[in-house]
């Protein structure tokens, strides 16, 4: 009964136990603007300044606290440790719970594939950024350590390069920024939502960023588009090039970048494998959208859809119905699904405590100023240490003049407190020097020890002069930054993961009509005329008609569904389908290729080849003796693009080119009369179309490579004279027997 009565009293008067709290239970009449100002604004400022927006070193506070904890744990070297251990230690700096700290580590880890340049090496299941279903394991099961590139985050951090502040309970110190040796803020994707503002920073290739920063240091007016072509993403995919949009991002920090998934077609199983997707989506979102389109009959070309993502990586498999054109289907899917998506850029960065939206140029200039301050502070710290050491050694040097006198002073001094003053008086040294001398062990009071210590004085004086010169010269400080950037680039940079697609046409959701498949014969003349004749009608045709002074240069037997690659003297390649040209007769001249492909008025065709499947290589032989071997897949496009820029290098005049399906031997001929047999298997294929190639045939002054043709057994009497084990080589002059055996082409 007593308990029941007490509960009833508490219900009737819930504040009865709180009467001792002043003002408890009273209602305060306050305007909403005052409440927002006193309660909400401090919270908003905390989120903006201490949580969601990255600073110039590229990190949010949660990232910085975690990485600094791992650095203090010695995880730059040695093996991995349990993630739970790291999370627990990080709570000394970041008291926001183990779950949020572990999620921060997940995103920084290599295994999660969120960052282009991850700062944490992972062991165990860290999930995947491209999949919602592939969740990470608990922290007690996984292990981690700092990645090698993290060394660049903490270089000279203990040399007063950055400020340190107390942690939340004033028990230890933590850095306000990390003295990063490269612009990490633009090398990894960073997103965050604050109060009333957000940040979304795209990632760029480390090598390109370092080159751009070096160029800006040397010339603040440098056009960054020359060294920074487009963003780069850890998940790959194609970056759709849009010059105006990229210029806007570089200038203002706002805009969007289109990223398109990468796929391959497996002819044997008649399926499409999507292996790389945009960073803004997941494989589950893509699959759900495709399933929705199939259910609404907007996509009818699929027979099955599977998520085959495993430990080897991402793979979405689309099984096609018979007769479906995979490229045409992907054209529809790019338009209707997240297989093509846009990364919205909003380069909001904290600069000296203030959020600012900056373009790439301005961010790099701010980073350069930040790094200059780090170099200055590091140099000042080192200079101070060396000056202190020099000062002590100069005092020790004076003792060297009369060691016995120093011993006598110490021995005859009655009070310990008088030792330092007596040494100061006896040798004319200051208190710091006297303290140093007084602390020397008795065994070290000999000439040999003192001479060893004082011989460093000259080196210290030189070092101090050099350090003072760095402090007095901003150019020397900039040279140090350039040297460090080049070292970072050499150590950690790699090839782009996201190839760039230039001049992408607008997509049409309508699937192209099926191209009829039948054998044809192409006649291509030297002046650029192409005549297509059905092979079945060829026997009934007469001799191919040509213009006066013209002649047939090449003849191809192919399919009407094949493609043509037409290379021009302006370093461009025009793509067309054989079906684009009408069926003709031998009595007709055919179509004039430059007009048919809408080439530029002064553009000339230098080579035409027929592609059945994108297998093999393009060989480009330049007059300077270099040969470029480009994988033919570099010219393969997923859309019906008619022209590709930078089809080959224009740095040296092109002597000739050739499409080969497999490696073989070719004869290079120089204007000097020398010839060289080249096995193309010795050349490494490149994916960059405009590669300058490698030196193959050395040329004497005023001579050049003129031609190349396939080698035929028996062409040379002593073929071994024209072969070489090492490239480049000069080749050999044909002998009398070679000329007699030479086959004409």
Tell me the catalytic residues: 141
Any residues with CB less than 8 A from the CB of 640 and at least 6 apart, and which? 505, 512
For the beta carbon of residue 280, count every other beta carbon within 10 angstroms.
19
What token pair was written down for 548?
Answer: 């006066």
What token pair was written down for 256?
Answer: 């969007």
For the beta carbon of residue 712, count every other beta carbon within 10 angstroms.
13
> Which runs of consecutive H residues, i.e. helices, occur in 257-296?
283-295
Give me the sheet containing 190-193, strands edge to edge: 190-193, 198-201, 340-346, 254-260, 238-240, 500-501
How far apart, in whole angstroms, are the C-alpha atoms of residue 503 and residue 506? 9
Q: How far is CA 51 from CA 54, 66, 348, 356, in A?
A: 8, 13, 13, 15
Q: What are phi and psi of 447, to 5 degrees?
A: -60, -40
Q: Give the DSSP H/E element, type plus range, for residue 571.
A: none
In 3D space, the residue among 389, 370, 264 whose CA is nearest the CA of residue 327 turns out to be: 264
CB 733 within 8 A of CB 674: yes
How far apart, in whole angstroms, are the C-alpha atoms of residue 650 and residue 638? 26
Concatenate the DSSP letters of all residues of 404-454 into one string.
HHHHHHHHH--SGGGHHHHHHHHHT--HHHHHHHHTS-GGG-SHHHHHHHH
Helices then strands, counting H and E runs in the chain, come out as: 20, 32
Please give the sequence-ordered ranges of beta strands (E in DSSP) within 194-253, or none if there are none.
198-201, 238-240
Q: What are phi and psi of 350, to 5 degrees?
A: -80, 115
CB 97 within 8 A of CB 219: no
In 3D space, the residue among 224, 566, 515, 257 whose CA is nearest the CA of residue 365 turns out to be: 224
């Amino acid at each position: 009964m007593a308990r029941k009565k007490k509960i009833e009293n508490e219900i009737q008067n819930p504040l009865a136990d709180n009467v001792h709290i002043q003002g408890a239970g009273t209602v305060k009449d306050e305007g909403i603007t005052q409440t927002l100002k006193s309660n909400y604004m401090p919270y908003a400022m905390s989120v903006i300044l201490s949580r969601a927006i990255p600073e110039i070193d590229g990190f949010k506070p949660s990232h910085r606290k975690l990485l600094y904890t791992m650095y203090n744990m010695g995880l730059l070297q040695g093996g991995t440790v349990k993630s739970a251990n790291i999370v627990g230690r990080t709570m000394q700096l970041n008291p926001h719970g183990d779950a949020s700290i572990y999620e921060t580590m997940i995103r920084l880890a290599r295994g999660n594939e969120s960052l282009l340049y991850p700062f944490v090496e992972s062991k165990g299941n860290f999930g995947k950024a491209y999949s919602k279903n592939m969740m990470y394991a608990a922290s007690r099961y996984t292990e981690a350590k700092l990645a090698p590139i993290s060394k660049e985050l903490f270089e000279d951090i203990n040399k007063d390069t950055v400020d340190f502040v107390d942690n939340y309970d004033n028990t230890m110190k933590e850095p306000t920024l990390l003295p990063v040796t490269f612009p990490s803020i633009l090398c990894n994707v960073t997103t965050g939502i604050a109060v009333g503002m957000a940040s979304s920073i795209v990632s760029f290739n480390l090598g390109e960023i370092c080159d751009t920063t070096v160029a800006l240091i040397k010339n603040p007016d440098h056009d960054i588009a020359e060294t920074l072509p487009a963003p780069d993403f850890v998940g790959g995919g194609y970056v759709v090039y849009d010059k105006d949009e990229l210029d806007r991002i570089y200038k203002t920090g706002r805009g969007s970048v289109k990223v398109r998934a990468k796929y391959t077609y497996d002819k044997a199983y008649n399926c499409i494998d999507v292996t790389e997707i945009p960073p803004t989506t997941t494989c589950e979102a893509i699959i759900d959208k495709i399933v929705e389109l199939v259910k609404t009959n907007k996509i009818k070309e699929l027979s099955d859809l599977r998520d085959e993502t495993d430990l080897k990586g991402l793979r979405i498999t689309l099984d096609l119905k018979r007769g479906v054109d995979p490229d045409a289907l992907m054209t529809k899917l790019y338009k209707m699904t997240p297989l093509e998506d846009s990364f919205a850029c909003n380069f909001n960065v904290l600069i000296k405590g203030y959020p600012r939206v900056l373009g790439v140029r301005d961010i790099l200039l701010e980073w350069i100023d930040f790094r200059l301050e780090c170099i200055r502070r590091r140099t000042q710290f080192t200079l101070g240490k060396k000056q202190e050491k020099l000062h002590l050694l100069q005092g020790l040097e004076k003792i060297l003049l009369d060691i016995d006198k120093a011993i006598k002073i110490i021995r005859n001094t009655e009070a310990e407190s008088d030792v330092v003053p007596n040494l100061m008086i006896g040798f004319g040294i200051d208190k710091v020097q006297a303290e140093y001398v007084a602390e020397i062990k008795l065994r070290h009071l000999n000439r040999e020890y003192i001479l060893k210590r004082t011989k460093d004085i000259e080196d210290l004086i030189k070092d101090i002069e050099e350090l003072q010169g760095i402090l007095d010269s901003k150019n020397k400080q900039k040279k140090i930054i350039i040297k460090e950037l080049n070292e970072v680039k050499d150590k950690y940079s790699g090839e782009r993961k996201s190839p760039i697609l230039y001049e992408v046409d607008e997509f049409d959701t309508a699937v192209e009509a099926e191209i009829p498949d039948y054998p044809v014969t192409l006649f291509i003349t030297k002046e650029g005329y192409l005549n297509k004749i059905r092979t079945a009608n060829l026997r009934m045709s007469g001799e191919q008609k040509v213009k006066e002074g013209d002649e047939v240069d090449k003849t191809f037997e192919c399919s009407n569904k094949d493609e043509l690659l037409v290379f021009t003297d302006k370093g461009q390649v025009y793509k067309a389908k054989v079906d684009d040209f009408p069926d003709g007769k031998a009595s007709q001249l055919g179509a004039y290729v430059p007009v048919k492909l809408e080439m530029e008025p002064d553009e000339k065709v230098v080579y035409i080849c027929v592609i059945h499947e994108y297998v093999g290589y393009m060989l480009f032989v330049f007059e300077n003796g270099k040969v470029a071997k480009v994988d033919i897949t570099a010219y393969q496009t997923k859309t019906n693009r008619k022209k590709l820029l930078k089809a080959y290098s224009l740095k040296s005049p092109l002597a000739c080119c050739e499409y080969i399906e497999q490696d073989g031997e070719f004869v290079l001929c120089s204007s000097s009369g020398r010839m060289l047999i080249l096995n193309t298997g010795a050349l490494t294929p490149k994916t960059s179309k405009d590669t300058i190639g490698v030196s193959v045939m050395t040329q004497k002054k005023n001579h050049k490579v003129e031609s190349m043709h396939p080698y035929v057994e028996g062409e040379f009497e002593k073929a071994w004279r024209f072969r070489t084990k090492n490239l480049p080589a000069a080749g050999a002059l044909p002998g009398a027997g070679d000329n007699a055996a030479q086959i004409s082409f």
